[in-house]
Amino acid sequence: MSKVKSYRIVLADDHELFRQDLRKIIDGMSGLKVVGEAGDGLELLKLIGSVSPQMAILDISMPKLRGIEAANEIEQKHSHIKVLILTIHKDDAYVRRAISVGAEGYVLKENIDRDLFPAISMIRQGQVFFPSLM
């Protein structure tokens, strides 16, 4: 019987403790594996080339290269990688911008316990995840 490969995810957030906690949660789920972490958008783009993820989970507010710009770069250069925005920003303008650069999902950090795994699951299946922010 062949071993099922884990779905490979990279994390990008400028808060290291948040990334570490998120990594523990994701790695604890069957079939998911965090293969790298970045503290900013530029670091994320370099990391993608070396770890070949299937999904990038990233924050909007990061130094050097913000999440929206990093998501746009991923869409342009690595369109096979799915992008899930995980952020505190509730404003609809951020959601529209995320959609416009090709993100497949948008989850508020305050709703992470409810929305993270459904978002990952739906995006893996080729769907999108943009729940109402109200």
Looking at the domain assignment, is residue 1 inside a domain?
no
pLDDT single digits (tens) 98-115: 999 999 999 999 999 999
Phi and psi torsions of 48, nearest 5°: -55, -40
Count how many domains the chain has: 1
Tell me: pLDDT of 134 over 90: no
pLDDT of residue 132: 66
Per-residue pLDDT averaged across 54-68, rounded? Answer: 93
pTM for this model (two decimals): 0.93
pLDDT single digits (tens) 29-42: 999 999 999 999 99
Looking at the domain assignment, is residue 2 inside a domain?
no
Looking at the domain assignment, is residue 40 inside a domain?
yes
Tell me which residue of 101, 108, 37, 33 sits closest to 67, measured CA to CA. 101
Structural domain for 29, as ranges: 7-60+67-124
Looking at the domain assignment, is residue 39 inside a domain?
yes
**In the numeric block, which tokens belong to residue 76?**
């342009």
Looking at the domain assignment, is residue 130 inside a domain?
no
Looking at the domain assignment, is residue 131 inside a domain?
no
Looking at the domain assignment, is residue 132 inside a domain?
no
pLDDT of residue 4: 61
- CATH code, domain with 18: 3.40.50.2300
Tallying the residues shown for the chain, one arrives at: 134
Per-residue pLDDT averaged across 38-53, rounded? Answer: 95
pLDDT single digits (tens) 62-112: 989 899 999 999 999 999 999 999 999 988 999 999 999 999 999 999 999
